[in-house]
C-alpha cells in the first residue's frame, strides 16, 4: 500500500510549475533590482558630482586662505546634500589644496601659492553613509559605495595678463595693422578684420564662434596674412569692467590693493596716512608732485584739460568730470581716471574744454551703449616709458564711459579698463605692451603696430576667474 502511494506521488505532476515560478520570480527580482537599485546608485552619483563641483568652486574662491577654503567646501557640501538625509558626504580630509597644471592635467599638493582645490565626495561605509539597496539584497548586496571627484582652479586668462585687447562688444580692426609677440584680440560679440592686417605666428584672434563672428569683408583672407592661423574659438568676458567705479573709489580711499607702488603711503604725522589732495577744475597740472593722489572735484558736465606738453610722473589723477589730454603730453607711472557720466563737447588738441573732440560720439556697434568719451587724447601723446616692457613706468586708464585716442601716439605699457568703447587712433609709432578691457567695442584704426616687445602692461589690475578642470 505504501509502495503504491509512493509511486503515485512520483508520477504526480501537479505543482511542477511552482519551481519554474520561483526561478522566474528570482530572475524578475534580480532584473528589477538592477533597474531600481542601479538607477538609484547613478542618481546618488549625479548628486554627489554636483555637490563636489559646487564645493570645489566655492572653496577655490577663498584661496589663498587654505583653512577657510576647506571649511567652505565642507559647508557647501552639507548645504547641497543635507547631513540628516545623506550623512556626511565631504569631510575635511577629503579636501586638498594645491596647484593644477593645465599642460599635464596633474593636480599636486604642497604649493606655496595654491590655485586649485580638489574635493572627494562619498557615500560609503567608511563615511558611514553608503547608499542602501532594496531588491538586490536577495543576492546578498546590501549597499553601494559611491565616490566622485572635482577640481576647481583659480586663474587669469593669458589674454588679460599680457598684451591683449578684450571687448564685451566688437573689435573692429581697420587696415594695415601689425600684430606680434602672441598678442591676443578677443571680441565677445565678434571681430571685424578689414584689409592688409598682418598676424605673426602665435597671435590669437578669438570669438565664441569663429566661423560666424570673425568677419572678413568679401572673405579676403589673403589680404590679412596669418589670420586663418590666428583664429580661435573661446568665450571671454572682461570682468574688470564691472569694477571700474569700485576701483576709482578705492583709489581715492587709498586701499592697498589698488594703490600703485609709486604712491607715498607713509605716515606724515606718525598716526595717519597722507590724505588725497583735492583740486578744482582750474588746477595747474604742472604742479603735480610724484607720489601723490589728486582728486579733481568738478561737475560731471564740466571738463578739465591737461595742457599740451605736460609731463606727469608718479601720480594718480581722478576727476569727477571729463578729461582732455593735450598734444605732446608725456606720462609715466600714472593713473588717469574719470568718474564723469558725460561729455558735453569734447576737447581741442591742446586739451582745453569746449573743443571739437570726440565727445558725444559712438562707434555704433552696440557694446555697452555708452555714447560719449570722458577721456580724450590729442595727437602725439606718449604713455609709458620706452623701456621694452620692463616693470614700472606704465600708465593705467579707468573710465565709466569711453576713451578716445587721436593719431601718432606712442604707448609703452598701458592698461585701459572702461565701461564703454575704446577708440585707438591711427599711425601709432609703436604700441609696446597694451592691455585693454572694454565693456563696449574696441576700434583699431590704420597703420598701428601692436605687441612689439615681449611681456605686457605693468601694474596690471585684474580679477580672478574660476573654472572646473576635472
Compute the average pLDDT of residues 306-316: 96
Residue 136 banded pLDDT, cuts 50, 70, 90: low
Q: What global pTM score does this model have?
A: 0.81
Better-predicted residue by pLDDT, 344 or 94: 94
Tell me, yes or no, whether 4 lies in a domain: no
Q: 257: helix, coil or strand?
A: coil
Asked if residue 175 lies in contact with residue 448, where contact means CB atoms within 8 angstroms, the answer is no
Question: Is the bond leading into 64 cis (omega within 30 degrees of zero)?
Answer: yes
Compute the average pLDDT of residues 106-133: 93
C-alpha cell at 349: 588738441
Task: Supply the pLDDT for residue 369.
Answer: 42
Lowest mean pLDDT among 137-146, 169-178, 219-228: 137-146
Lowest mean pLDDT among 60-74, 292-306, 359-373: 359-373
Say whether both 259 and 404 belong to one domain: yes
Task: Supply the pLDDT for residue 148.
Answer: 97
Tell me, yes or no, whether 9 lies in a domain: no
Residue 386 banded pLDDT, cuts 50, 70, 90: confident
Task: State residue 466 phi and psi, 5-degree precision.
Answer: -135, 145
Residue 184 banded pLDDT, cuts 50, 70, 90: very high
Say whether both 132 and 192 belong to one domain: no
Most confident stretch, 106-120, 370-384, 453-467: 106-120
Compute the average pLDDT of residues 24-32: 64
Kind and range of the H or E element at 179? strand 178-179
Say whether both 140 and 165 belong to one domain: no
Task: Supply the pLDDT for residue 30.
Answer: 63
**DSSP state at residue 251:** H
* Cβ count within 10 A of residue 213: 17
187-197 tens-digit pLDDT: 999 999 988 99
Tell me, yes or no, whether 12 lies in a domain: no
Task: Supply the pLDDT for residue 298.
Answer: 93
Residue 36 banded pLDDT, cuts 50, 70, 90: confident
Asked if residue 297 lies in contact with residue 338, where contact means CB atoms within 8 angstroms, the answer is no
Task: Supply the pLDDT for residue 215.
Answer: 93
- Which of 120, 135, 155 delimits the end of a domain? 155
Say whether both 310 and 429 belong to one domain: yes
Say whether both 224 and 330 belong to one domain: yes
| Number of compact structural domains in the chain | 2
Task: Supply the pLDDT for residue 389.
Answer: 79
Residue 87 banded pLDDT, cuts 50, 70, 90: very high
Say whether both 442 and 312 belong to one domain: yes
Residues 434, 389: Cα–Cα separation, whole Å = 10
Say whether both 30 and 113 belong to one domain: yes
The residue behind cell 568738478 is 298
Say whether both 318 and 265 belong to one domain: yes
Residues 165, 153: Cα–Cα separation, whole Å = 24
Say whether both 90 and 77 belong to one domain: yes
Residue 360 banded pLDDT, cuts 50, 70, 90: very low
CA 238 to mean position of chain CA atoms: 6
Tell me, yes or no, whether 468 lies in a domain: no
**pLDDT above 60 for 350:** no
Provide the residue range defining the domain that includes 37.
17-155
What percent of the chain stands above pLDDT 70? 82
- Which of 113, 138, 155 delimits the end of a domain? 155
**pLDDT above 90 for 2:** no
- Bin 128: left if φ > 0, else alpha if -120 < ψ < 50, else beta: left
CB burial of residue 307 (10 Å; 0-12, 13-18, 19+): middle
Tell me, yes or no, whether 469 lies in a domain: no
- What average pLDDT does the structure give for the chain? 85
* Helices assigned H by DSSP within 201-354: 210-213, 227-230, 244-252
- Which of 131, 155, 179 delimits the end of a domain? 155
Residues 130, 135: Cα–Cα separation, whole Å = 16
Better-predicted residue by pLDDT, 384 or 361: 384
Residue 430 banded pLDDT, cuts 50, 70, 90: confident
C-alpha cell at 237: 568676458
**pLDDT above 90 for 200:** yes
Q: 119: helix, coil or strand?
A: strand
Task: Supply the pLDDT for residue 15.
Answer: 59
Tell me, yes or no, whether 81 lies in a domain: yes
Lowest mean pLDDT among 126-140, 223-237, 332-346, 375-389: 332-346
Say whether both 278 and 167 belong to one domain: yes
Tell me, yes or no, whether 5 lies in a domain: no
Task: Supply the pLDDT for residue 139.
Answer: 66
Tell me, yes or no, whether 6 lies in a domain: no
**pLDDT above 70 for 89:** yes
**pLDDT above 60 for 344:** no
CB burial of residue 274 (10 Å; 0-12, 13-18, 19+): middle
64-85 tens-digit pLDDT: 999 999 999 999 999 999 999 9
Task: Supply the pLDDT for residue 266.
Answer: 75
Instruction: Give the CA radius of gyration of the chain.
Output: 32
**pLDDT above 80 for 162:** yes
Residues 364, 410: Cα–Cα separation, whole Å = 26
**pLDDT above 60 for 349:** no
Say whether both 167 and 183 belong to one domain: yes
Task: Of 212, 209, 224, give the one whose Cα is nearest residue 173.
Answer: 224
Number of helices and strands (H, E) in the chain? 7, 31
Kind and range of the H or E element at 74? helix 66-80
399-429 tens-digit pLDDT: 999 999 998 888 988 999 999 999 998 877 6
Contacts of 399 (CB under 8 A, 6+ apart): 244, 337, 338, 374, 375, 417, 418, 419, 420
Task: Of 356, 380, 470, give the one whose Cα is nearest residue 60.
Answer: 470
CA 341 vs CA 272, 337, 441: distances in Å: 33, 12, 18
Say whether both 311 and 351 belong to one domain: yes
Residue 462 banded pLDDT, cuts 50, 70, 90: confident
Task: Supply the pLDDT for residue 23.
Answer: 64
Compute the average pLDDT of residues 145-173: 93
Amino acid at each position: 500500500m505504501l509502495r503504491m502511494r509512493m509511486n503515485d506521488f512520483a508520477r504526480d505532476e501537479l505543482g511542477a510549475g511552482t519551481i519554474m515560478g520561483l526561478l522566474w520570480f528570482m530572475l524578475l527580482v534580480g532584473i528589477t533590482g538592477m533597474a531600481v537599485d542601479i538607477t538609484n546608485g547613478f542618481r546618488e552619483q549625479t548628486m554627489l558630482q554636483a555637490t563636489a563641483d559646487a564645493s570645489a568652486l566655492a572653496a577655490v574662491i577663498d584661496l589663498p586662505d587654505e583653512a577657510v577654503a576647506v571649511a567652505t567646501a565642507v559647508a557647501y557640501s552639507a548645504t547641497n546634500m543635507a547631513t540628516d538625509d545623506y550623512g556626511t558626504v565631504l569631510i575635511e580630509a577629503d579636501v586638498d589644496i594645491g596647484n593644477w597644471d593645465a599642460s599635464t592635467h596633474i593636480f599636486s599638493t604642497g604649493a606655496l601659492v595654491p590655485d586649485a582645490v580638489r574635493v572627494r565626495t562619498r557615500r560609503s561605509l567608511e563615511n558611514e553613509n553608503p547608499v542602501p539597496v532594496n531588491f538586490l539584497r536577495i543576492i546578498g548586496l546590501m549597499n553601494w559605495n559611491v565616490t566622485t571627484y572635482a577640481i576647481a582652479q583659480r586663474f587669469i586668462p593669458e589674454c588679460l595678463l599680457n598684451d591683449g585687447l578684450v571687448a564685451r562688444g566688437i573689435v573692429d580692426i581697420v587696415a594695415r595693422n601689425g600684430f606680434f609677440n602672441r598678442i591676443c584680440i578677443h571680441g565677445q560679440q565678434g571681430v571685424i578684420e578689414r584689409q592688409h592686417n598682418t598676424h605673426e605666428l602665435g597671435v590669437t584672434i578669438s570669438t565664441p564662434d569663429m566661423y560666424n563672428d570673425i568677419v572678413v569683408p568679401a572673405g579676403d583672407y589673403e589680404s590679412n596674412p596669418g589670420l586663418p592661423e590666428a583664429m580661435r574659438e573661446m568665450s571671454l568676458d572682461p570682468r574688470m569692467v564691472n569694477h571700474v567705479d569700485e576701483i576709482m573709489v578705492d583709489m581715492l580711499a587709498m586701499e592697498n590693493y589698488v594703490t600703485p607702488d609709486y604712491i607715498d603711503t607713509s605716515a606724515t604725522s606718525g598716526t595717519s596716512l597722507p590724505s588725497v589732495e583735492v583740486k578744482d577744475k582750474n588746477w595747474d597740472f604742472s604742479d603735480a608732485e610724484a607720489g601723490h593722489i589728486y582728486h579733481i572735484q568738478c561737475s560731471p558736465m564740466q571738463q578739465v584739460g591737461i595742457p599740451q606738453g605736460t609731463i606727469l610722473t608718479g601720480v594718480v589723477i581722478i576727476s569727477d568730470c571729463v578729461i582732455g589730454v593735450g598734444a605732446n603730453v608725456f606720462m609715466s607711472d600714472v593713473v588717469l581716471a574719470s568718474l564723469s557720466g558725460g561729455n558735453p563737447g569734447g576737447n581741442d588738441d591742446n586739451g582745453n574744454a569746449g573743443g571739437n573732440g570726440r565727445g558725444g560720439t559712438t562707434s555704433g556697434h552696440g557694446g555697452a551703449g555708452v555714447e560719449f568719451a570722458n577721456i580724450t587724447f590729442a595727437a602725439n601723446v606718449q604713455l609709458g616709458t620706452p623701456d621694452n616692457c620692463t616693470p614700472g613706468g606704465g600708465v593705467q586708464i579707468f573710465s565709466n564711459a569711453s576713451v578716445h585716442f587721436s593719431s601718432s601716439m606712442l604707448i609703452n605699457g598701458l592698461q585701459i579698463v572702461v565701461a564703454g568703447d575704446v577708440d585707438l587712433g591711427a599711425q601709432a609709432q609703436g604700441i609696446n605692451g597694451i592691455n585693454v578691457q572694454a565693456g563696449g567695442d574696441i576700434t583699431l584704426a590704420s597703420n598701428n603696430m601692436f605687441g612689439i616687445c615681449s611681456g605686457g602692461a605693468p601694474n596690471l589690475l585684474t580679477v580672478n576667474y574660476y573654472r572646473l578642470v576635472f
